[in-house]
C-alpha cells in the first residue's frame, strides 16, 4: 500500500528527516512513535505533500507520489488528518464533511454521511452546528470523518489521542479499529505508547528525524532498551 | 422629510454599485489572499466594453441588457486569463509583491484603454424602459436608480445562495478560512482560485457596465473605484460579503447626505468614517483577524545586516560617480538626477517604515506632500527662505505622521495599509478642497530655490547632500538600538510585547520618523519644480514609492535607492520614447516580480547569503 524509502525533508535550510523508510500494508495499523519534536508530523506532512522540500521514494498504491501536489496525492486515496485538527469553524458539521467528499474509489470502503454518523454517533446529533462550537473531542472525530469522506485507502492520523479525555481516547481507539475492520490502512503518529499499543500491528520509533526501531508491536513491548532510549521522558 | 427619503434612496443606489465591485474584491481576497489592485481596472473595462457593445448592438432592451451581460462575461474571461497567466506565478510571493504585480496590470490597462477608446469621456445611452422617473413623495426619482436599489440586494441574495447552497460555495468558504487544509482534502486549489477570481472579475465588470446610463465612461474610473472598493471592503471586513453590503450602504448614505451637509468634505467624510471604524473594529465590521488565516504565503525577510566590505567599496564608487555627475550631465539631466535623488530619499523613508518597521504604508505620499506644502506655505505666507522651509518641512510632515500614525500603528497588515491610505486621502482632500489656503488644484506656484541654489548644478548638489545625508542618518538609526527594537517588534510582535518593549510606541515613533524624512524629500521636490500641486499627495505618488521599494527589494537598505533610480530612470527614458510608457512599465514590473520575487537587491542579498552559507558548510 505505502512504501517509503530514503525520505529526506527540509524546512528552509534545516534538515529535519534523514533517510526515513517505512511501509504500511493493506488493512494494517502502523504507529510512528516518537517524542515531541522527533519528526512525526513532518513525516506525515512530507508523505501528503505539505512539505515542499522533500526528497526520496514514496510509492503509494503502486505509484510514485513524491512529485505530486497535495490534492493529487489525496485524490489517489491517501487521507491526512493534521494534529491541530484544522476544522472549518464557520462551516457546519455537514458542510465540513462536504468539503472532504470525493468520488467513490473501487476496492476501498465507500463512506457516506450516514455511515460516518454510525461510526461517530455524536456527530449525527449536531449536523447543523457550526464546527467551531463543538468540544475538542467532537472536533477530533469530525476531522477524521471529514477525511474519510474522501474514501481513502490509507488514512494518516497525526496524534489522534492528543489532548482528549480518557473516555474519548477509548472511543477514538474503537473508531480506528472499526476503520481497520473495513479494510483501511491506518498510519498514526503517537507519543502515547499506551494508545499505540491498543490499536497498532506494527510500530516505528522516530528520533531526531531518523527511524530507530522497526518491528511488531509485541517486539516493541518486549524491547525495554529501545523504549528507555527513545521514549522515556 | 421627503428630502431625507429621496437622499437615502440615492445613497442606496450608490451602495448597490459599491457592493458589486467591493464584494468581488472581498471574495477574491478571502480565498486567494491577493489584494487585487486591478479590480478597479475590471470595473473600468466593464464600462468601456459595455459602451462599445451598446453602440454595436443598439440601445434596444435586448441590445442594452445583452451588452451589460456580455461586458461582464468579457471581463470575467479577462479575469480568468489574468489569474492563470499572472497570479498563479505569484501566489507564493510575499503579499506586497502580489500587489505590485496587480498594479502592473492597472498600468497596462490604463494605457490600453487610452489606445483603444481614446482620452475623451464617452456618454452611453439611457437604459431602455428605465429612462424615465417615478414619482416618490411628489418628487421625480430616476427609474434606473430604483432598479439599481433592487439589483444590489438581488446580487447579494444570489451570492448567498451560491455560497451556502452549492458545494462550490462551501469550498470557497472553507478555503477562506484554511486553503491549505482544503487542498489536503483533495480539492484542486488552482481551479478554485481561478473560478473565484473569475466571479470577482465578473461582478466588477458588471458594476462598471451598469454605470453606462449614469456617468460618462472615462479613464479615471479605475483608481477611483478601487479606492472606494478598498474602503468598503476594509470597513466591511476582508472576505465578508455581508460586511461588504453593510459597508456599501454606510458609505453610500454617507455620500448622499454628506454632499448636502458638507459639500466640500465628502471625500474626507468617507475616510474619516473608515478611520473611526477601523480604530473601533480593527478587522472591519464583520472581518476576522488576519492571523487566523492559514496556509498563506511565507514571508521572505532576510535579516538585515551592515554592508559587506565589498559592497561598501561599491557604495563609495557610486558616491563618487554621483559627485562627478554634473561634469557629464546638462541642466535637464541634472534636474532628472535631482528628482531621482529626491525619490530615493522618499523610497528610503518608506522603506524604513516597511522594512525596518514592518508596517506597510499605502499613504506615504501624505508626508511627502505635507513636506512639500509645508515648505511652500511657509515661504508664501511667512516669507520663509528656502533652507528654512526645507528645515521645517520634516517637522510639519513628522507632526502629521505622529497624528495619523497614532491610529495606524494599532493595526497591522492590509488594514494598516488601508488606514494609511485613508489618511493620505484625507490630506489630499483637504489640500484639494481648501482653495483659500492651498490654492486647491491650482496648486502653489513660484516656489523657487534661493539664488545661490538656483542653478541646476547647485540644486543637484543640495539634493545630493541632503538626500544622501538623510539616507545615511536613517541607516544609522536602523542599526542603532532603536532600529533593532523596531525590528524585534516587526519579527515577533508578541515576544517583544512579552519582554516589556512598548510595541505601539516604538512603531509609532518609527512611523513618524519615516514620515519626517519623506517631508524633506517633499520640500526638495517643491523647490525643484518651483510649484506644488495636490498630485504630490495622490495615490499614484504613494504607489510610486511602493513600486520603488519593492523593485529594490525590502530586505536591504540599498534596495530602495536602487529601486528609485531604476523606476525614475525607466519612467523618464520610456516616456520620451513612447506614449504608452505606463504599459511598458507595467509589463516590466510584472516581469520583474515574476523573475525576482524578492526584489532586485533582495535577489543579490539572497545569492550572497547562499554563497556565505555554502562557504560555511565547506569549512570544517
Ligand atoms: N514549519 C517548520 N519550520 C521549521 N522547523 C520546523 C517546522 N515544523 C517543525 N519544525 C521542526 O522540525 C522538527 C520536527 O518537528 P515535528 O515533525 O513537528 O515533530 P513531532 O511531530 O514529532 O513533534 C522539530 O525540531 C521542529 O522544531
Ligand atoms: Mg507533531
**Which structural domains are found in chain B, ordered by start?**
2-128+137-280 (1.10.3470), 313-543 (no CATH)
CATH of A2-230, one of 1.10.287.70, 3.40.50.300, 3.40.225.10, 3.30.750.24: 3.40.50.300
Atom of ligand 1 nearest to the CA of A206: 22
Helices B331-351 and B539-552: crossing angle, nearest 10°?
Answer: 80
Say what the pTM is.
Answer: 0.86
Strand-pair partners of A211: A206
Indicate if the alpha-carbon torsion angle B136, B139, B140, B146 is positive or negative: negative
| Cα gap B571→A92, rounded to integer Å | 53
B122 min Cα distance to partner chain A (Å): 45
What is the tally of helices (H) and strands (E) in chain B? 25, 4
Phi, psi of A120 (to 5 degrees): -120, 80
Residue B576 pLDDT: 81
What is the ipTM score, two decimals? 0.95
Report whether B193 contacts A118 (CB < 8 A). no
On chain B, the residues whose CB falls within 8 A of the CB of A13 are 613
Helices assigned H by DSSP within B143-220: 143-165, 167-183, 189-209
CA of A231 to the centre of ligand 2 (A): 15
Phi–psi pair at B136, nearest 5 degrees: -120, 115
Helix (H, G, I), strand (E, B) or coil at B285: coil
Q: What is the per-residue pLDDT for B616? A: 45
d(CA B32, CA B293): 11
Distance from CA of A71 to the nearest CA of B (A): 4
Three-state SS annotation for B568-603: HHHHHHHHHHCCCHHHHHHHHHHHHHHHCCCCHHHH
> Which among A13, A89, A146 has CB closest to B613?
A13
Atom number, ligand 1, closest to the C-alpha of residue A158: 21
Q: Length of chain B in residues, anyone?
A: 620
Instruction: Compute chain B's Rg from CA coordinates.
Output: 25
At B352, list the grid cell.
Answer: 524604513
Question: Grid coordinates standing for B337?
Answer: 538626477
Question: A33: helix, coil or strand?
Answer: strand
Cell of B290: 488576519
Q: What b/e string do you get for B121-156 counting C-beta neighbours within 10 Å, with b at 16 or more?
A: ebebbbbeebeeeeeeeeeebbbbbbbbbebbeebb
| B121 CA to centre of own chain | 25
| Positive or negative: CA dihedral B190, B195, B200, B202 | positive
pLDDT at B95: 72
- With a cut of 70, list the residues of chain A below it in pLDDT: 232-233
Residue B147 CA to ligand 1 center (angstroms) comes to 57
Residue nearest to atom 20 of ligand 1 (CA): A37
Q: Which of these, B329, B381, B302, B377, lies nearest to B532 by C-alpha position?
A: B377
What per-residue confidence (pLDDT) applies to B291? 47
Residues of chain B with pLDDT under 50: 291-303, 616-620
- Min distance B303 CA to chain A CA atoms (Å): 14
pLDDT digits (tens, 9 = 90+) for B303-314: 455 667 777 788
Pocket of ligand 1 (CB under 6 A): A 11, 14, 16, 34, 36-42
Report how far residue A79's alpha carbon sits from residue A186's, in angstroms, rounded to the nearest whole number.
9
Query: How is B392-414 classified by DSSP, letter by letter?
Result: HHHHHHHHHHHHHHHHHTTS-HH
Amino acid at each position: 500500500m505505502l512504501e517509503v524509502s530514503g525520505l529526506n525533508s527540509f524546512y528552509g535550510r534545516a534538515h529535519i528527516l534523514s533517510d526515513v523508510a517505512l511501509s504500511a500494508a493493506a488493512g494494517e495499523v502502523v504507529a510512528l512513535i516518537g517524542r515531541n519534536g522527533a519528526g512525526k508530523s513532518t513525516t506525515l506532512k512530507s508523505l501528503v505533500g505539505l512539505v515542499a522540500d522533500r526528497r526520496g521514494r514514496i510509492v503509494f498504491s503502486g505509484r510514485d507520489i513524491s512529485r505530486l501536489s497535495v490534492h493529487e496525492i489525496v485524490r489517489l486515496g491517501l487521507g491526512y488528518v493534521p494534529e491541530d485538527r484544522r476544522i472549518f469553524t464557520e462551516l457546519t458539521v455537514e458542510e465540513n464533511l462536504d468539503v472532504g467528499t470525493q468520488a467513490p474509489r473501487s476496492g476501498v470502503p465507500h463512506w457516506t454521511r450516514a455511515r460516518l454518523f454510525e461510526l461517530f454517533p455524536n456527530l449525527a446529533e449536531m449536523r447543523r452546528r457550526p464546527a467551531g462550537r463543538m468540544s475538542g473531542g467532537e472536533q477530533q472525530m469530525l476531522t477524521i470523518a471529514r477525511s474519510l469522506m474522501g474514501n481513502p485507502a490509507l488514512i494518516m492520523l497525526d496524534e489522534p489521542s492528543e489532548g482528549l479525555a480518557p473516555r474519548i481516547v477509548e472511543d477514538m481507539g474503537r473508531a480506528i479499529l472499526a476503520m481497520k475492520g473495513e479494510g483501511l490502512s491506518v498510519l498514526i503518529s503517537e507519543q502515547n505508547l499506551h494508545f499505540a499499543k491498543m490499536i497498532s500491528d506494527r510500530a516505528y520509533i522516530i528520533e531526531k528525524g531518523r527511524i530507530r526501531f522497526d518491528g511488531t508491536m509485541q517486539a516493541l513491548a518486549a524491547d525495554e532498551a529501545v523504549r528507555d532510549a527513545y521514549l522515556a521522558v | 422629510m421627503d428630502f431625507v427619503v429621496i437622499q437615502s434612496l440615492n445613497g442606496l443606489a450608490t451602495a448597490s454599485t459599491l457592493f458589486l465591485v467591493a464584494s468581488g474584491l472581498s471574495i477574491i481576497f478571502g480565498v486567494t489572499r491577493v489584494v487585487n489592485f486591478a479590480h478597479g481596472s475590471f470595473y473600468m473595462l466593464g464600462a468601456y466594453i459595455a459602451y462599445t457593445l451598446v453602440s454595436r448592438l443598439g440601445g434596444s432592451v435586448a441590445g442594452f441588457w445583452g451588452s451589460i451581460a456580455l461586458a461582464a462575461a468579457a471581463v470575467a474571461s479577462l479575469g480568468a486569463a489574468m489569474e492563470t497567466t499572472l497570479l498563479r506565478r505569484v501566489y507564493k510571493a510575499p503579499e506586497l509583491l502580489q500587489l505590485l504585480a496587480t498594479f502592473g496590470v492597472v498600468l497596462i490597462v490604463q494605457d490600453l484603454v487610452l489606445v483603444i477608446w481614446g482620452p475623451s469621456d464617452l456618454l452611453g445611452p439611457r437604459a431602455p424602459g428605465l429612462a424615465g422617473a417615478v414619482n416618490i413623495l411628489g418628487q421625480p426619482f430616476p427609474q434606473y436608480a430604483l432598479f439599481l436599489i433592487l439589483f444590489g440586494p438581488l446580487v447579494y441574495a444570489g451570492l448567498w445562495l451560491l455560497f451556502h447552497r452549492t458545494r462550490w460555495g462551501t469550498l470557497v468558504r472553507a478555503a477562506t478560512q484554511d486553503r491549505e487544509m482544503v487542498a489536503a482534502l483533495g480539492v484542486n486549489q488552482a481551479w478554485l482560485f481561478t473560478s473565484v477570481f473569475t466571479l470577482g472579475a465578473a461582478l466588477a465588470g458588471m458594476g462598471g457596465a451598469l454605470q453606462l446610463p449614469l456617468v460618462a465612461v472615462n479613464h479615471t474610473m479605475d483608481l477611483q473605484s478601487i479606492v472606494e472598493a478598498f474602503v468598503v471592503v476594509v470597513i466591511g471586513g476582508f472576505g465578508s460579503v455581508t460586511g461588504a453590503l453593510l459597508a456599501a450602504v454606510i458609505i453610500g448614505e454617507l455620500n448622499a447626505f454628506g454632499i448636502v451637509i458638507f459639500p466640500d468634505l465628502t471625500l474626507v467624510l468617507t475616510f474619516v468614517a473608515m478611520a473611526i471604524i477601523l480604530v473601533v473594529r480593527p478587522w472591519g465590521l464583520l472581518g476576522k483577524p488576519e492571523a487566523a488565516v492559514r496556509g498563506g504565503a511565507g514571508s521572505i525577510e532576510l535579516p538585515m545586516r551592515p554592508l559587506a566590505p565589498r559592497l561598501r567599496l561599491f557604495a563609495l564608487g557610486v558616491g563618487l560617480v554621483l559627485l562627478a555627475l554634473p561634469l557629464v550631465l546638462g541642466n535637464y539631466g541634472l534636474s532628472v538626477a535631482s528628482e531621482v535623488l529626491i525619490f530615493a530619499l522618499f523610497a528610503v523613508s518608506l522603506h524604513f517604515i516597511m522594512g525596518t518597521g514592518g508596517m506597510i504604508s499605502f499613504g506615504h505620499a501624505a508626508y511627502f506632500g505635507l513636506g512639500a506644502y509645508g515648505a511652500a506655505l511657509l515661504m508664501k505666507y511667512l516669507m520663509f527662505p528656502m533652507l528654512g522651509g526645507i528645515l521645517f518641512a520634516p517637522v510639519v510632515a513628522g507632526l502629521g505622521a505622529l497624528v495619523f500614525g497614532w491610529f495606524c500603528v494599532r493595526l497591522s497588515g492590509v488594514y494598516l495599509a488601508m488606514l494609511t491610505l485613508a489618511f493620505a486621502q484625507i490630506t489630499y482632500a483637504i489640500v484639494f478642497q481648501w482653495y483659500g489656503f492651498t490654492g486647491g488644484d491650482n496648486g502653489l506656484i513660484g516656489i523657487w530655490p534661493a539664488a545661490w541654489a538656483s542653478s541646476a548644478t547647485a540644486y543637484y548638489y543640495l539634493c545630493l547632500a541632503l538626500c544622501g545625508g538623510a539616507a545615511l542618518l536613517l541607516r544609522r538609526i536602523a542599526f542603532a538600538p532603536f532600529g533593532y527594537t523596531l525590528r524585534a517588534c516587526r519579527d515577533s510582535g508578541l515576544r517583544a510585547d512579552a519582554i516589556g518593549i512598548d510595541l505601539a510606541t516604538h512603531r509609532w515613533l518609527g512611523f513618524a520618523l519615516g514620515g519626517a524624512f519623506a517631508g524633506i524629500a517633499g520640500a526638495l521636490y517643491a523647490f525643484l519644480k518651483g510649484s506644488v500641486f495636490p498630485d504630490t499627495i495622490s495615490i499614484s505618488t504613494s504607489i510610486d514609492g511602493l513600486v520603488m521599494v519593492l523593485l529594490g527589494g525590502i530586505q536591504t537598505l540599498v534596495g530602495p535607492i536602487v529601486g528609485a533610480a531604476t523606476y525614475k530612470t525607466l519612467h523618464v527614458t520610456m516616456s520620451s520614447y513612447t506614449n504608452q510608457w505606463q504599459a511598458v512599465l507595467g509589463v516590466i514590473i510584472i516581469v520583474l516580480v515574476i523573475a525576482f520575487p524578492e526584489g532586485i537587491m533582495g535577489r543579490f542579498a539572497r545569492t550572497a547569503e547562499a554563497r556565505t552559507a555554502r562557504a560555511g558548510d565547506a569549512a570544517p
